[in-house]
Amino acid sequence: MAIDAYIILSAVLFSMGVLGVLLKRNAILVFMSVELMLNASNLALVAFARQWGGLEGHLFVFFVITVAAAEVAVGLALIVAIFRTKQSINIDELHQMEG
Amino acid sequence: MDIPTLEQLNLSAAFPAISLALGTCLLLLVDLFLPKNRKYLTAWLALGGLAVSFIFNLFAYNSSTTALEGMFIADQFTGFSNIAVIVATAISILLSIDYLKRHQMERGEYYILLLFSATGAMFMAAANDLVVIFVALELLSIPLYIMAAFRPNDARSEESGMKYFILGAFSSAFLVYGAALIYGASGTTNLTEIFSSVEGILATQSASSLYLLAGTALLVVGLGFKVAVVPFHMWTPDVYEGAPTPVTAYMSVVAKLGGFASFLRVMIIALPALALPESTIAVWQTTLWLIAAATLILGNFVAIAQTNVKRMLAYSSIAHAGYILMAVAAAGTAGLGDSAAQAALIYLLAYTFTNLGAFAVAMVLEKTDGSNVTLDDFIGLSRRQPLLAFLMAFFMLSLIGIPTTSGFIGKWLVFQVTLEAGLIPLAIIGVLTSVVSAYYYVRIIVNMYLRENEAAVGDEGEALPGASQYVNWAIYASFAGTLILGLLPVLATNLVNTVNLATMFPR
């Protein structure tokens, strides 16, 4: 089965995620871009798993989803904490330390 | 699919890491029943858990076997990394006990997060599977994001946690995509099986070889972020400066230990044959040595400009990642994988002791008002605290790599293996940047010993803000490690003498 289309799509999604992280200034949007990168990887993994017919790819996807959920919990907590101290989640305003 | 029996899982080989994971979960429960003003008990229990894990590690040390369906390798490499992780975690706990109390952030979760992170590092060092590497990396990192932001209502600590989190999550996404591409090329996530399929993939000249190359590149990016090598180092100074000092000390050591252990395993077990036809040198060697050279130059030169000691040590830790990466690059030459792994391991252990000691002394000088420790704070320290000044001077000499210190042994082995691999320009850069690094390390020694007359109010034996009995133990332990490794390197080299990543399993 040709899976090239899926891999190309996942590469496009991954690149969009990378650009989002680099260009967006709102912490939540940055965070969503990271999720997009992880989900692009999931798509690639599932497509490859279909090609090889093994379980490893599917297994990997489940772990990625679980870990992403854990990251979301920590990330949103950090965003809330920062919003409380600074009343802003613009990551350009995170510049207490320079040098 | 067959369900493996307990014997097939071979759990006993993985006991050092598993026991720490279980012990930490248990501690999570026990901590609930400890009264709020006695959270130091959690610290002692955490040290107990580390001790149990250490004992299991002694039993499993010289084994050479796989566990958990080939996903986990128990060998000397794992055992040695475990020792370094356990020692670093124990020293960090000693540093934390009074620091947390002084800064009003004494909470039981701290030690539990610390132990979870250590468990992640131990699994990373033992991982023989891309899935395990990813999960262990996250287990190592996620607690660190929380710990970096652990100081409540402090904008710098929160900023540090946020920056670490965004770049950490960013880098693990690269790692996952790289792993996905390698899986797509080879059809397996097991490192040993990837190795056996690499030659076949390269021979077919199909899209798979492209996937393999791209996957390797993305893995290098992902792991490069974790161990902070140029150009993936931007987060390091800010995160190290903003995080609470014991956390900085811990993550400067253990995150590098876990990251480099996986780096070595992936490169030496899975991808040594990723080479051009008729070549004995892996294609990633050139990339890695260029990254190492850039890391050495940038880390050492920017460190000169720093006056904040934590930032200076952050750039110094970037530079040390460069030295370790020299060994990883050298592993790309066929036949050098094992000696490169041994050199990198010894360097990591030497760096563990020395760097923890340096951060501990910086912590002793740190005031509770949140101001930075600067180089000027060291002026006249030799008169106020002669012993502490001497120990700090010793740590600085070890970071430079002066003989009789552990830093010298690490550098010696790394330079040796780099020369064996024929990377002469890289070795020259390494030596020259070591000379450069002497400038900023010696500046601290000069401030302590030669500028004592300028000290404002330097009473003899004046109490320092962060001094305490436990911190002293931690500093003495770091000193003992630095000195013993420096005087008797044979102890460490004997511990890694049968590290054989490249030839462990029949091909």
| pLDDT tens, residue by residue, A23-43 | 998 999 999 999 999 999 999
> Taking residues B308-328, what's their average pLDDT?
94
Under the banding of pLDDT at 50, 70 and 90, the label for residue B88 is: very high
| pLDDT tens, residue by residue, B340-357 | 999 999 999 999 999 999
Q: Chain B window 362-421: which residues touch A at a Cβ cutoff of 8 Å?
A: none
Q: Is B137 a residue whose pLDDT tops 50?
A: yes
Contact: B241, A91; criterion CB under 8 Å:
no
Contact: B184, A34; criterion CB under 8 Å:
no
Contact: A34, B169; criterion CB under 8 Å:
yes
Under the banding of pLDDT at 50, 70 and 90, the label for residue B457 is: low
B230 touches chain A (CB under 8 A): no
Q: Which tokens is B286 given?
A: 């050139």
Under the banding of pLDDT at 50, 70 and 90, the label for residue B481 is: very high
Angle, CA B183 vertex, CA B217 and CA A47 arms, to 5°: 115
The pLDDT of residue B334: 84
Q: Is B189 a residue whose pLDDT tops 80?
A: yes
Report the distance separating Cα A44 and Cα B434, nearest Å: 43
Q: What is the mean pLDDT of chain B?
A: 90
Q: Is B2 a residue whose pLDDT tops 90?
A: no
B144 touches chain A (CB under 8 A): no
The pLDDT of residue B337: 87
Domain range summary for chain A, segments of one domain joined by +: 3-97
Q: Chain B window 295-314: which residues touch A at a Cβ cutoff of 8 Å?
A: 305-306, 308, 311
| pLDDT tens, residue by residue, B10-52 | 888 889 999 999 999 999 999 999 888 888 899 999 999 999 9
Q: Which tokens is B2 given?
A: 């067959």
The pLDDT of residue B380: 84
> Taking residues B85-104, what's their average pLDDT?
92
The CATH number of the structural domain formed by A3-97 is 1.10.287.3510
Under the banding of pLDDT at 50, 70 and 90, the label for residue B460 is: low
- Residue percentage of chain B with pLDDT more than 90: 66
Report the distance separating Cα B184 and Cα A48, nearest Å: 5
Q: Which tokens is B469 given?
A: 């009995």
Alpha helix ranges (H) inside B365-487: 381-384, 386-400, 406-420, 424-449, 469-487
> Taking residues B66-78, what's their average pLDDT?
89
Q: Which residues of chain A have a CB within 8 Å of the CB of B142?
A: 70-71, 74
* CB neighbours of residue B188 within 10 Å: 21
The pLDDT of residue B456: 57
Q: Which tokens is A54 given?
A: 């093994």
**Of the candidates B309, B177, B401, B436, the residue with the CA atom closest to the CA atom of residue A13:** B177
Q: Which residues of chain B have a CB within 8 Å of the CB of A97?
A: 156, 159-160, 237-238, 241-242, 311
Q: Which residues of chain B have a CB within 8 Å of the CB of A82?
A: 158-159, 162
SS (H, E, C) B332-356: CECCCHHHHHHHHHHHHHHHHHHHH
| pLDDT tens, residue by residue, B97-118 | 989 888 888 888 999 999 999 9
**Of the candidates B207, B213, B187, the residue with the CA atom closest to the CA atom of residue B271:** B213
| pLDDT tens, residue by residue, A50-76 | 999 888 899 999 999 999 999 999 999
Q: Is B143 a residue whose pLDDT tops 90?
A: yes
The pLDDT of residue B502: 66
ipTM of the complex: 0.95
* CB neighbours of residue B4 within 10 Å: 11
DSSP H or E segment with residue B72: strand B72-74
Q: Is B224 a residue whose pLDDT tops 90?
A: yes
Q: Is B432 a residue whose pLDDT tops 50?
A: yes
CA distances to B171, B260, B261, B505 from B266, in Å: 16, 10, 9, 15
Q: Is B454 a residue whose pLDDT tops 80?
A: no
The pLDDT of residue B507: 34
Under the banding of pLDDT at 50, 70 and 90, the label for residue B240 is: very high
**Of the candidates A16, A5, A25, A14, the residue with the CA atom closest to the CA atom of residue B173:** A14
Among B163, B176, B225, pick the best mutation site for testing chain A contact (most A Cβ within 10 A).
Answer: B176
| pLDDT tens, residue by residue, B418-428 | 999 999 999 99
Q: Is A97 a residue whose pLDDT tops 80?
A: no
Indicate the DSSP class of residue A91. G
The pLDDT of residue B276: 81
Among B105, B150, B158, pick the best mutation site for testing chain A contact (most A Cβ within 10 A).
Answer: B158
The pLDDT of residue B505: 46
The pLDDT of residue B285: 92
